[in-house]
Structure 1
Amino acid sequence: MNEFFQTLKTQRWDDHRYYHHSRINQSLHLISALSFLVSYGLVFVNPAWAALLAWCVSMTTRQAGHFFFEPRGYDHVNQATDEYKEEIKVGYNIRRKIVLLAVWVALPAVLWVSPSLGGLIVPAVSWQGFVEDVGMAWFCLGVTGLVFRVVQLWATQSLMQGLAWGFKILTDPFHDVLLYWKSPLYLLRGQLIDPMEHVGQGHAN
C-alpha cells in the first residue's frame, strides 16, 4: 500500500506542476471538480444525466483549460519542453484527448443514424429518450476510457501505475477542490500564471 500511495502522490504532484500553471485553467478545474461531485451523487439516481452533466460541463471546462489557457511553451519552472511533458504524461496527453473527444462528439451522431445501435438497445421513441441514450453512451465511454488507459499503463509500465492513475482520476474532483479553491481569488487580483514557487522548492507540499 505504501508503494501505491507514493505512486499516487507522484502522479498528482507531476500533474499539478507540469500541467496547471494557468490560474484560468486552475479555476476551470475547480468548476469542473464541483460539477463532477454533483455527477457522482447523481450517478446513483440517474447515470445517464450524471454522464450528460459530467461530459457537457465537467469535461468541457476541464479540457478548455488545457487546450486554450495552459501555456504550451518551454516550462521554465520545471526546465522541460512541452514535447517532453506530452511524451511522459501518464494520463491522456493532448493527442489522446483529441481522440477521446472525437469519439464523444461522434456518439450522438451514431445514435441519431442508428437509434438501436444495430439492435443492441431499444431505440428511443422521444427526444428525452434519445438524450438519455446519449447520456448512457457517454457513461460507457467514460468507463471504457478509464479502464482502457489503466490496462494500457499496466501493459506499458506497471499495474501499480495503472491502478494509481485510475484511482487518481476518480478522486481528482475532491483533490482539485482542495488544491484550486483559491485560484479564482488570484485571478481577481490579476494573476494569470501561478508562480509555482512551491515547485521550485523541489518537493510536494
Structure 2
Amino acid sequence: MNDFFRTLSVQRWDDHRYYHHSRINQALHLLSAISFVVAYALLFVDPVAAALLAWLVAMTSRQAGHFFFEPKGYDHVNRATHEHKEDIKVGYNLRRKVVLMALWAAAPLLLWFDRSLFGLMTPSAGFEGFARQVGMVWLWLGAGGLLFRTVHLFFIADVRTGLVWMTKVLTDPFHDILLYWRAPLHLLRGELIDPMGRVDQRA
C-alpha cells in the first residue's frame, strides 16, 4: 500500500507541475472540482442529472483550461518541451482528450437523428426526455473512458499504474479544491502564471 500511495503522490505532483501553470486553468479546475463533487452526490439521487452536470460544467471547464489557457511552449520550470510532456502523460493527453470530447459532442447529434441509438435505447418524447437520454449516454461515456484508459495502462505500463491513475482521477476533485482554492485570488492580483516555486525547490 505504501508503494500505491507513493505512486499516487508522484502522479498528482507530475500532473500539477507539468499541466497547471496557468492561474486561469487552475481557477477553472476549481470550478470543475466543485461541480464534480456536486455530481458525485447527485449520483446517488439522479445519475443522469449527475452526468449532465459533470459533462456540461465540470468537464467543459476543466478541458477549456487545458486547451485554451495552459502554456504549450517550452517549460523552463521543468526543462521539458510540450511534446515531451504529451508523450509521457499517464492519463489523457491533449490528443486523447480531443477524441474523448469529440465522442461527447457527437452523442447528442447521434441521438437527434436516431432516438433509439441504433436500438440500444428506448426512444423518449420531448426535450426533457432527449436531455435525459443524452445524459445517460454521457454517463456511459464517462465510465467507459475511465475504464478504457485504466485497462490500457495495465498493458502499456502495469496494473498498479492503471489502478493508481483511476484512483487519482476519481479523487482529483477533492484534491483540486485543496490545491487550487486560492487561484481566483491570484487572478484578482493579476497573476496569470503560477511561478511554481515549489517545483523549483523540489527539482
Q: Calculate the TM-score normalised by the size of structure 1.
A: 0.97
Partner of 2:73: 73
Cα separation, 2, equivalents of 1:6 and 1:76: 26
Partner of 2:140: 140
Partner of 1:106: 106
Partner of 1:30: 30
Counterpart amino acid of residue 99 in structure 2: V
Whether 2:201 is the aligned partner of 1:201: answer yes
Cα separation, 2, equivalents of 1:118 and 1:85: 39
Cα separation, 2, equivalents of 1:80 and 1:121: 46
Cα separation, 2, equivalents of 1:68 and 1:126: 35
Cα separation, 1, equivalents of 2:53 and 2:160: 30
Partner of 1:6: 6
Structure 2: stretches of 5+ with no match in the other structure: none
Aligned residues: 203
Counterpart amino acid of residue 133 in structure 2: D
Partner of 1:191: 191
Partner of 1:93: 93
Whether 2:35 is the aligned partner of 1:46: answer no
Which deviates the most, 108-117 or 80-89? 108-117
Counterpart amino acid of residue 26 in structure 1: Q
RMSD over aligned Cα atoms:
0.8
Cα separation, 1, equivalents of 2:16 and 2:46: 32
Structure 1: stretches of 5+ with no match in the other structure: none
Runs in 1 of length 4+ with deviation above 4 angstroms? none
Cα separation, 2, equivalents of 1:139 and 1:175: 22
Q: Deviation string for 1:60-116 (max 9, x for gaps)?
A: 110010011100000000000000000000010000000000000001111111111
Cα separation, 1, equivalents of 2:137 and 2:170: 19
Cα separation, 2, equivalents of 1:76 and 1:136: 43
Partner of 1:159: 159
Deviation of the 1:119 alpha carbon? 2.1
Which deviates the most, 106-115 or 155-164? 106-115
Q: Calculate the TM-score normalised by the size of structure 2.
A: 0.98
